[in-house]
Chains A and B, each alone.
Chain A
Amino acid sequence: MLAPVLIAAEKPVLVPDVSARQVQIRYSFTGAQLLLFGAVVYPGGRPPDRQVDIAVVLRGPVQPILVREKQKIAGIWMNADSNRFRSAPSFYAVASSRPISELLDERTAAIYELGVHNLQLSPGGGALPEKERRFEAGLLDLRERRNLYQENPAGVEINGGVLYRAVITIPSQVPVGTYTAETFLIDRHKVIAAATRDIQINKSGFERYVALAARRHRFLYGLTSVLLSLGLGWAAAAAFRRQF
C-alpha cells in the first residue's frame, strides 16, 4: 500500500486511457474518433502552481514506402524520380496543450518525435540531402492533406491541472494493425513523465473475411467475383424479361 506512494513522491505519474482499445472496421466504417484521456498523479496529490503541459501522440504501424515525384517531361507529367522511406508511420497525430515549439526545444522534440516535421522516416541511403528533403516535404504535405498526419497545437484540454483529454480523428483509409497512443507530461521544457497504450485496429466480420480471402485464396476469390457478376447480370436480365 505504501510502496506506490513512496515512488510517486519522486515524480508525477501519468495514468492514461483511451476510449477504445479496439477499433473494428466494418462495412459502415468511415473513420473513428478516439478519446485519449487520463490523469496526472502528483507527489503529495497536489498539482504545482505553474501550468504543466501534455502532448499525446497516436501513431499507426510503420510501413516501408516508395514516394514518386512527377515532373514535366516533353510536356507530359510523368513519374520521374523516386525515393524510399523505410519507416514512415502510416498514421501520425499529435495533439498538445500548447504549440510544440513553445513546449520543447527542437532537439528534445526531435528525440521524442513530437511534431510532424520531427518524424524519423529513415530515407533510403544514397540520395542527396536536398533530394531527400524535397521528398520528405512532399510526403508530409500529401499525408497532412489526407489527414493521415495531423498536428493540433490546441488539442489537449487540461482540467484543474490533473485531468486531460484529447480527441483524435482517424480517417477511413488507415491500415490495420497495432497503434500506439503515447502521452507526455512536459514541464519547463522537459519531458517528466511518459506512458503508452496500445490500440488494435482490425477489420472484422465480412470485411476481414474478404481481405483474407483475396490474399490467401486468390483463385477461389477471383472465381467468386466472376460468378457473382454472372449471377447478378443473369438475375437482372431474367427479372426484366418478365416485366416487359
Chain B
Amino acid sequence: MDIYLPIAGQSVNALFIVALGFLVGLLSGMFGVGGGFLTTPLLIFYGIPPTVAVASAATQITGASVSGVMVHMRRGGVDLKMGGVMIAGGFLGSFVGAALFRVLQSTGQIDVAIGLLYVLILGWIGGLMLLDSLKSLGYLKVAAPDQPRPRHNRWVASLPLRWRFHGSGLYISPIAPFALGFLAGTLTVFLGIGGGFILVPAMIYILGMPARIVIGTSLVMILAVSAATTMVHAITTRAVDVVLAALLLVGGVIGAQYGALLALRVKPDMLRLALAIIILLVGLRMFLGLFWHPDEIFSVEYL
C-alpha cells in the first residue's frame, strides 16, 4: 500500500513505515530508549531526505515516550525538579543545535557531521554497555575494585551553586543536569535521537542519581525536548512530515506496549546485552558508510 508524503514529496510503502515504527517501538518499550537512533538511519537508507527523516523521527520519539512517562509518573519514579532543570538545558540545546544544523546544511557537511557523530556516540555507548552487561552476566571476569565507587563525581561536586533535589536525594549544582540536558537537546535536533541511551548512564554515573528514578526522569526530559525539537524543525527547517510521523507513530506506540510486556519476561542483563549489540551494529554500519564508496557521488540541493 503506497502513500504519498506531502513534505518529503515522494510516495512510500505505508506498511513498511508502520512496520519500521513497530520494530523501533518494540525496542523502545523493551529498553526504555526513544529508538530514534534506529529510525533516522533506517529512514535515510529507505530514501527519505535526511532532514525530513531527522525532523519526523523527533515527532515519533514524543509519542513513543508518552506511555513510559505515564507509567513512571504513577509509580512516583520521576524527579520533576531535576527533570525541569534538564528540560531547560534541553530547550537551549535544541536552539543551539538548530543554528549549528543550518550552518552545516548550508556548507553541505551535514551528512558527514551526522555520520561522524553517530559513529562516535554509538560506538562509545555501545562499547560501554557491552562491557558492562558481559561483566554482570559473568562472561567477563574482572577483579573487584579495591574501594567502592564514590557516589559523587568530583567535577560535579566542585561546581558552584548547590540545590537540593529531594526526589533524587541529591544536593548538587544545577549546572551539571543543565549541561546534560543541553547536550541531549543538541543531539535531538542534530541526529533525531532522544538521547535516552546517553542520558540514562550519565544520570547514574555522573550525577549519581538512584536508578529507580533515572528512567522516568529521562523519559520526561526526552518527551519535552523531542516536542520542542519538533517545533524547532517545524519553524526553521520546515521538514516535519506529519504523515510520515503519523505512520511511524501508529506502529511505534503499539510496538512500545508489546516491548514493555516483553521486557518483563527477559533478564535485564540480557536486554542490555542485546541493546548493546544493536547499537554497535548500527554504529558499525554508519562507520563503514563513511569509508565505503557512496552510491551517489553527486547530490542535489534546491535553492
Contacts and interface: CB of A to CB of B under 8 A. Distances in A.
Interface of A: 25-31, 63-70, 75-79, 82, 84, 135, 138-139, 141-143, 172-173, 175, 203, 206-208, 210-211, 214-215, 218-219, 221-226, 228-230, 232-237, 240, 244
Contacts of A67: 298-301
Most chain B CB neighbours (cut-off 10 Å) among A27, A225, A229: A229
Given A25-B4, A225-B234, A229-B62, 15 more contacts: A65-B300, A70-B296, A76-B291, A79-B108, A84-B303, A173-B9, A173-B10, A214-B6, A219-B235, A225-B230, A226-B227, A226-B230, A233-B256, A234-B70, A235-B253
B242 A221 contact: yes
A66 B246 contact: no
Contact of B253 (A77, A141, A236): A236
A232 B250 CA distance: 7
Nearest to A174: B9
Interface string B49-78: 000000000011011111100110000000
A175 B7 CA distance: 11
A29 B11 CA distance: 7
Contact of B302 (A65, A218, A223): A65
Contacts of A207: 4, 6
Contact of B4 (A26, A135, A141): A26
Given A63-B302, A226-B231, A28 B4 contact: yes
Interface string B204-236: 000000000000000000000001001101110
5 contacts: A67-B299, A173-B9, A211-B7, A218-B234, A237-B71
Contact of A229 (B2, B63, B108, B303): B63
A31 B231 CA distance: 31
Contacts of B303: 63-66, 84
Interface string B139-157: 0000000000000000000
A82 B108 contact: yes
Summarize B's interface: helix, strand, loop or mixed. Answer: helix
A70 B299 CA distance: 8
A172 B10 contact: yes
B6 A68 contact: no
A219 B234 contact: yes
B7 A232 contact: no
B131 interface: no
B261 interface: yes
Contacts of B64: 233
B57 to A, nearest CB: 11
B234 A214 contact: yes
Interface string B252-272: 011011000100000000000
A225 B245 contact: yes
A228 B66 CA distance: 12
Nearest to B64: A233
B66 A237 contact: yes
Contacts of B112: 76-79
Contacts of A26: 4
Given A207-B6, A221-B240, A139 B300 contact: yes
A130 to B, nearest CB: 16
B231 A223 contact: yes
B109 interface: yes
B138 interface: no
Interface string B174-217: 00000000000000000000000000000000000000000000
